[in-house]
C-alpha cells in the first residue's frame, strides 16, 4: 500500500511541478507581496525581497511544485514597479558592496490600501465564500 501512496505522490509532483497556473498565481501575488514586504521590512535590497517572497511560498518550494525566486524574474518586476512610482530605490554601500535598496512610495501605500479594501469585499462575495467553504 505504501508503494501505491508513493506512486500517487510522484504523479502529483510531476503534474504540479512548474505548472503554469501555479506560476501565474505566484507572479500575480508577487507584486502585492512586494508592496507589503516593503511596507513592513523596507527599505531592503533586492536579494532580501527574493528571500521574503520565498518565505511566503516555502511549502510550494519544499514540495517541488515551485522553484525559488529568480533575480531575472524579480528585478524586472521591481523596475516596472519603480517606473509606476509604487516603489523607489537608492544605492547604499554595505560591507563594501553597492546594493540597491527599495522602499514603498505614497502611491504604493495607496495601492496597497486599495488592495486590502478589495480583498475584504471579494472575500465577502457569495462566490468566494462558497469557494472557501469548499476548501475547508
Instruction: Check: CB of residue 42 under 8 Å from CB of residue 102.
Output: yes
Helix (H) or strand (E) holding 91: strand 87-94
Integer CA distances (angstroms), 59 to 55, 64, 66, in order: 8, 9, 9
**3-57: pLDDT as tens digits:** 555 554 556 666 666 567 777 777 788 999 999 999 999 899 999 999 999 999 8
Which domains, and CATH codes, for the chain? 2-105 (1.10.10.10)
Q: How far apart are the C-alpha atoms of 110 and 114, rounded to whole Å? A: 6
Q: Biggest alpha carbon distance in the chain?
A: 58
**82-98: pLDDT as tens digits:** 999 999 999 998 889 89
Amino acid at each position: 500500500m505504501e508503494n501505491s501512496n508513493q506512486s500517487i505522490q510522484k504523479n502529483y509532483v510531476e503534474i504540479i511541478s512548474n505548472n503554469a497556473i501555479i506560476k501565474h498565481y505566484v507572479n500575480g501575488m508577487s507584486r502585492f507581496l512586494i508592496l507589503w514586504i516593503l511596507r513592513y521590512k523596507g527599505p531592503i535590497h533586492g536579494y532580501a525581497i527574493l528571500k521574503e517572497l520565498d518565505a511566503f511560498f516555502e511549502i510550494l518550494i519544499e514540495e517541488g511544485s515551485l522553484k525559488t525566486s529568480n533575480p531575472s524574474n524579480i528585478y524586472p518586476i521591481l523596475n516596472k514597479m519603480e517606473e509606476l512610482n509604487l516603489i523607489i530605490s537608492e544605492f547604499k554601500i554595505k560591507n563594501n558592496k553597492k546594493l540597491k535598496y527599495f522602499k514603498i512610495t505614497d502611491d504604493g501605500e495607496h495601492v496597497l490600501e486599495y488592495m486590502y479594501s478589495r480583498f475584504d469585499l471579494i472575500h465577502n462575495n457569495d462566490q468566494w465564500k462558497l469557494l472557501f467553504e469548499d476548501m475547508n
